[in-house]
Each structure stands twice: as structure tokens, then as C-alpha cells.
Structure 1
Amino acid sequence: MNKYRIHPIVVGSKRFDKGMMTYQQGYGQHCIIPIYCWYLEGGDKKIIVDTGEMQPIISKDREADLGGRIYSFEDGLARFGLKPEDIDIVIHTHLHNDHCENDYKCTNANFYVHRNELESIHNPHPLDFRYLEDYVEDVEEAGQVVALDGDCEVVPGIRMMHTPAHTPGGMTVLVDTRGGLAAITGFCVINENFYPPAEVLGMEMDVIPPGTSVNTYEAYDILIKVKDMADILIPLHEPSFARMDTVEGT
């Protein structure tokens, strides 16, 4: 079985209230989070997870806050000798706009995404403004979308697991690496969601659900499940990965 290396590529960032990440915690605290595309190096296919922002803000102050470079999608892939048209497979954690804005550039890729996300992006709930169907129409019309109804093995060593914590079709990406099983979460969280501070642990909470979720109780249970199964946890917006070339685990 192939063993993959996971390379984080920062292709955007957001400044907002920390409570957007940590349910009922951190409100009023300002934070900056990176938006990633993840290159899964190994095997005979060129595979990435999510495509990030089309026009990321690239500034010295944001890069200083993150501790790492911010790239355009093209420049980020070029670090690994790749162009968007070289990508064979795009795996989507979900279809909020900041995870799929560059899809149309990957003209030769198959896009793996849960069917619930496709339904949501075309008919979003009024509470969820992050779905914008314009970003997926090109790849849908080109017949590039592989719609999933549940868990799926994409290629040997890479699986997708349905984890509807943050969105109805959220998919956690499970990757075999030399350091063990890595989980790129299918929901928007940071390290603190999995490793809460003492005051939260004192409330008998072992994890903190995402700041926005489909069902908070179920989201809590999903985070516990992912935390227990993974050797290497990769919260989808954790800032520390912006300073890494490869996620090796701890």
C-alpha cells in the first residue's frame, strides 16, 4: 500500500472572531486562520484536497501572523512542479466557497465530493451563506464530479469518511503515511477543538465542536471519533501547518 506525504499549501486566509472555530468558546478574541490546499504526494496520481481561494490576500502582515507564505493556487502547486491541469484527483472536504474556488482550473481532474454538498451548494439553507454554486458549475458541466453517498476509497492508501459535523456532506480524508493514519478533517476546526484548554476540560468536554455545525451534539461525537482513530490529526484550519512543508505528526 502506498504511503503518502501531506504538504500544506496556504492559498488564503481569514481574520475573524475565534468563536467561528470554537463553539461557545473564544468569543471576542480575534484570530487569523489559513485556508489550505493539501498536496498528497505518493502513488501514480496527482492528488490534492480542496482548492482554496481564487484571489487570496497576500500581504506581509498576514504572512507574519501566520508565520508562513501565502500563495496563489498556481504558485502553490508550482512549488511541487505542478500546474492545475496536472491534477488527476481533487478530494473535497466540503464545498464552502473557500475550499473550491479554483476547481475550474483543474481541467483534467475528477472531483470527489459527497452528494449532500452538491445539493447544499445548489440549494443552501438560508443560514449558510458560504455556498456559491458558481464555483462548481464548470466541473459539473464537464462531467468531472464523482458524487459520493458515503465512505469511499479514492485510491489505495486514501479514504474518505462521511463526517457531517460542519456541513451535511463533510468528508474527512484518511491518508496512510509513514507516521501512521492521518486525518484531514472534513470540518473547519483548529487544534484547540481537539485539545481544549483546562477550563473546558474542567467542564467534562473532551473536544470543542466547530463554531458552526449542522447538529452540535453529533458534531461533538464526530470529533471524538476522528480524534480516537487518527495517529496524525490535521484540523482543517490549524495555523501551525502554515509553517510546515510536510505534516509529519507529533
Structure 2
Amino acid sequence: MKTYKIIALPLSSMEIDKAVLMYRFHYGQKIRIPNVVWYIEGADMNILVDTAADAKLAMEFRGLPAKEIMSFEDSLESVGLKPEDIDIVVQTHLQWDHCANTQKCRNAKILVQEEELRFAYSPHPILAPTYKKSLFTGLNFVLVKGAQEILPGIDLVPTPGHTPGNMSVAVNTEEGKAIITGFCCLKENFGPPVGASEEIIESTPVVAPGIHLNAVDGYESVLLVKGMADIVLACHDPAFEKPQVIG
């Protein structure tokens, strides 16, 4: 079985209310979360999952307190690459904090779910503030419909709810199947809510993403990933504020 390593490369971190990521829990609790580029090491081509966003965009576009960790260019240099070396960018979805640097990868094919691209160009008002069309206009998109293997051991898994065309990325590693969630969440989303009553904990095995178009779909996607993954890479978990290798 072909295996890979995943390298988490955080570009910036933002301060948000924890309930933004955990639906109906932890209102008023502030946390700092990273915006992460994921590099899949060991393929015959250079593959990124998402391209994240820097602190300046977080502050100017969304008004979030943010700090820089490293530039997109520096993150790639740390793994011996430049933006023009990237062959494939998997866009888990097209919200601003996941695609801000994709246009720099001028030689890459950009994989995105067809439903996500359609929605991104004309989003429902409830999610419209999370999309910035100038970040993804003119990209070399390759449209995906549903589940797809892009290389042996690397699979695209539809996980709608957070956005209609969100997808996660399952990667075989020596330590098991790692899944990059794509949908905005914490590792805590994959268990009962900490601090809730015993009755709620018993009936709530996972927590839906706080930002979503469809909360039920979002809940089911968290449950799906929990069941599939040996290693859950929750894309905004504070554990990824520092670069690290998974697998």
C-alpha cells in the first residue's frame, strides 16, 4: 500500500469565539486558531491541500485579531518548493481562509467540487461574507463530482454541510488513514461536548461545525470522518499552530 506523510504548515493564527467552530457550544470562549497549508509528501507530484490565508487578510477582510506565523512562500521553502512548483491544489472549499494563496500556484491544477464552485460564485447570503471571489477568479479548475481517488492512497471524500461542496482528503500514512477535514472545526468536534450535561453528552457523539449552510449535513460529515479516520486532522485545531509532520 502506497503511503505518504502530511506536513502541516501554518501561515497565521486568528482569535475567534469557539462557538464559530462548535455549533451551539462554548459561546464567549475565545481561542486562537491557525490557517494551515497541508503538503502531501511522497507523491510523484507536488500536492497541497488548501493554501490558507495570512494575518493581514484576516484583519482587513474579516476584522479578526490575527498574527503572522510565516508567509506562503516561506512555508513552501521549508519543504524545498516554490509556488510555481505546485502541481495540484486540492481546494477543500473556497472560503477565503482556505484559498487566499492559490493564485500564486500558477502551474497547478485546482481540484474543487463542482457544487462548491457553483455556490462560491453565487453564495447564499448566510455564507456570502465567507467568500471573496477575487481570490479564486481565473484559476485552472478541475471539477470533481463526488468521491474520487486522485492517486493511490489519496482520496477525495465529500463532506458537505459547512459549505455545500466541501470535501475532505483521506491520505494513507504509515500510521493509518489520516483525513484532512476541510470543514472548519477543532479536534473537539469529534467527541461529545466537554462541559455539557450528562444527558447532552450521552446524545451528542460529535459536534457540527459552527459555520454551516446545513447543520445536519455538517453533523453527519463530522460523524463520517470520525468513523473513517485513524488520524483526524481538524483543519483549525490549535495543535497545528506550529509546523509538524503527520504519518
TM-score (norm 2): 0.90
Q: Which residue of 2 aligns with 1:124?
A: 123
Q: Which residue of 2 aligns with 1:66?
A: none
Selected match of 2:165 from 165, 169, 186: 169
Q: Which residue of 2 aligns with 1:197?
A: 194
The separation in 1 between residues aligned to 2:216 and 2:44, in whole angstroms, is: 40
Equivalent residue of 1:120, what SS? helix
Q: CA RMSD in A?
A: 1.9
**CA contact under 8 A between 2:47 and 2:86: conserved in structure 1?**
yes
Q: Which residue of 1 aligns with 2:184?
A: 188
**CA contact under 8 A between 1:56 and 1:72: conserved in structure 2?**
no
The separation in 2 between residues aligned to 1:168 and 1:246, in whole angstroms, is: 30
- Identical-residue share of aligned pairs (%): 41
Query: Which residue identity does 2:39 align to in structure 1?
Result: Y
Equivalent residue of 2:31, what SS? strand
Q: Which residue of 2 aligns with 1:27?
A: 27
The separation in 2 between residues aligned to 1:219 and 1:138, in whole angstroms, is: 29
**CA contact under 8 A between 2:9 and 2:243: conserved in structure 1?**
no
Task: Give the Å deviation of 1:241.
Answer: 2.1
Written as runs of structure 1 = structure 2, the 5 A alignment for 1:19-168 is 19-54=19-54, 56=56, 70-128=69-127, 129-139=129-139, 144-168=140-164
The separation in 2 between residues aligned to 1:156 and 1:9, in whole angstroms, is: 23
Q: Give the aligned length.
A: 237
Deviations 1:41-75 (A, max 9, x none): 012110010011155589xx967xxxxx8111000
Query: Which residue identity does 1:124 align to in structure 2?
Result: P
The separation in 1 between residues aligned to 2:182 and 2:74, in whole angstroms, is: 25
The separation in 2 between residues aligned to 1:221 and 1:201, in whole angstroms, is: 22
Q: Residues 134 and 200 (structure 1 numbering): CA distance in 2 closer, same or farther, change over 3 Å?
A: farther
- In the alignment, structure 2 segments of 5+ residues that lack a partner are 59-64
